[in-house]
Amino acid sequence: MARVRGRQPEDPPADGSPPPQDTALDAAFRAHLPAVYRYLYARLHNTADTEDLCGEVFMRAVRWLEADRSAGEVRAWLLRAAATALTEHWRDHYRRAATLKASIEAYRPDAAASTDGERAGRQLAAVLARLPSRYREVLVLRFLEGLSAKEIAARLHLRPDHVRVLQYRALRAAGRTGGGDGAAPASED
């Protein structure tokens, strides 16, 4: 995304026809993408997630931009949409983390042995078995051992922001794999 600032306008069509006219979305994208990107990146510190959320913001803007709006209104609306997308992103992220943490707590050997706890533990073991070893390691250190991203980074010789990315990806992968359906383990990273 950082390359957007230095991007040159599209070349004219090879057949000699005039270039297509900019739509309101095209103009808003070119004018406001750097500000929306900076806003999101300053809060996420993750290029992939920032690019995804920028795409969501501008997809939300498609209908809203059909009406004639001033540049100030467009910028304010896009930044508000970015804040909303960011809130939804973190809400989903922590909801998945809380669900996984509850499953891990049920799997702990010192947890009360109940039928539901044992079933949850088996599901968790199946989900963890399907994850790549790096993802599994980050989740176990984070949720079973209770280490912070900084502590995990020191142990694995990574940067804390990379640990957070791995944790996020691991939670997404765990959410996609579900539990106990007999699928094959995921390939190693």
Check whether residue 28 and residue 74 sit in a common domain: yes
CATH code (residue 117): 1.10.10.10
Check whether residue 112 and residue 74 sit in a common domain: no
127 falls within a domain: yes
52 falls within a domain: yes
Range of the domain at 76: 23-91
Check whether residue 53 and residue 85 sit in a common domain: yes
Query: Can you give the pLDDT at residue 69?
Result: 78
Buried b / exposed e across 76-108, counting CB within 10 Å, b at 16+? Answer: ebbbebbeebbeebeeebeebbeebbebbbbbe
The tally of domains found in the chain comes to 2
36-86 confidence digits (pLDDT tens): 999 999 988 888 888 888 888 888 888 777 667 788 888 898 889 898 888
40 falls within a domain: yes
Query: Can you give the pLDDT at residue 24?
Result: 74
Measured in whole angstroms, the distance separating CA 96 from the mean position of its chain's CA atoms is 12
Query: Can you give the pLDDT at residue 71?
Result: 83
Check whether residue 173 and residue 112 sit in a common domain: yes
Check whether residue 76 and residue 125 sit in a common domain: no
Check whether residue 114 and residue 172 sit in a common domain: yes
- C-beta separation of 37 from 54 below 8 A: yes
Report residue 175 as tokens: 């959410």
Let me know how long the chain is. 189
The residue ranges of the chain whose pLDDT is under 70 are 1-22, 66-67, 101-118, 120, 178-189
75 falls within a domain: yes
184 falls within a domain: no
Instruction: Mark which of 35, 57, 91 sits at the end of a domain.
Output: 91
Check whether residue 47 and residue 74 sit in a common domain: yes
CATH code (residue 37): 1.10.1740
Check whether residue 28 and residue 71 sit in a common domain: yes
Residue type, 180: G
- Round to whole Å and give the CA distance between 153 and 165: 11
Query: Can you give the pLDDT at residue 96?
Result: 72
Query: Can you give the pLDDT at residue 114?
Result: 55
72 falls within a domain: yes
1 falls within a domain: no
Check whether residue 60 and residue 114 sit in a common domain: no
Check whether residue 80 and residue 113 sit in a common domain: no
Check whether residue 169 and residue 112 sit in a common domain: yes
98 falls within a domain: no
Query: Can you give the pLDDT at residue 35?
Result: 93
> First and final CA of the chain: distance in angstroms?
25
Tell me the longest C-alpha to C-alpha distance in the chain.
74
Check whether residue 133 and residue 86 sit in a common domain: no
Query: Can you give the pLDDT at residue 13?
Result: 56
